[in-house]
Amino acid sequence: MKQLLILILALSILSSCDQKKSKKTQSEFKPETELKTEPEPELKKLDTTVVYWQTDFDTIRKYQEVQIGNEIHQLELKTYSLNDSSIVRINDLNKPIIYKDIYHDNVTEIILKKGNDVILKSQVKKATFKDSLDGDFLKYSVLRSVEYDFIRSNRLYFKADIDVPDTDWAIGADFAIFYQTEKKGKIDYWNIKDIGL
């Protein structure tokens, strides 16, 4: 019986030592390398305002009589919007508000007639001048206007204005269109310059 009592006492002592070990908490253990975590910075949401140009169904027509030799011809310039929403410009200069401008390009048709006969019909777009325009300017600009200047040597001469809407970034160009000979309809341009608004 003494042996049984010693055995029970030994087991109870051993079990009480084991309980003390298991009661140690996770915080008492020190890792060899400590990981440092920083709180993630809060991302600020930027407010985006979309400015969409309304569709424009107006056509601006300009008529003018042009004397070629001894004959009078009628010159018509017809400018209209393509209503294509092809130009998207992000303006983030006024953070935290960002403006997303969506607008339309224009095209001008040049029609030269003698009576009811069409001598020349040609379209002028901003892409006509793409070889001489800055990439960003070409991407965000619209053809604003085309004006007749004069006639000489089988060509009609014009002035064009191209600009980026809602900015003072504007370019002027001179161009000419052959109205006869084998070069009929060919457009040449020069004098591309910043005219600013």
Q: pLDDT tens per residue, the chain (197 residues)?
A: 667 667 676 767 766 665 555 555 555 555 566 556 666 555 566 678 888 888 889 999 999 999 998 999 999 999 999 999 889 998 887 778 888 999 999 999 999 999 999 999 999 999 999 999 999 999 999 999 999 999 998 999 999 999 998 889 999 999 999 999 899 999 999 989 988 76
Q: Tokens representing 57?
A: 């169904």
Q: Virtual CA dihedral for 107, 112, 115, 116, nearest 10 degrees? A: -50
CA distance 147 to 113: 17
- Chain position carrying tokens 């006509």: 128
pTM of the shown model: 0.72
Residue 13 in 3-state DSSP?
Answer: helix
Q: Which domains does the chain have, with CATH numbers?
A: 47-194 (2.40.128.510)
**Residue 9 confidence (pLDDT):** 67
**Residue 186 confidence (pLDDT):** 94
Strand locations in 29-184 (E)? 47-52, 59-68, 71-81, 87-91, 97-103, 106-114, 117-124, 142-152, 155-163, 170-178
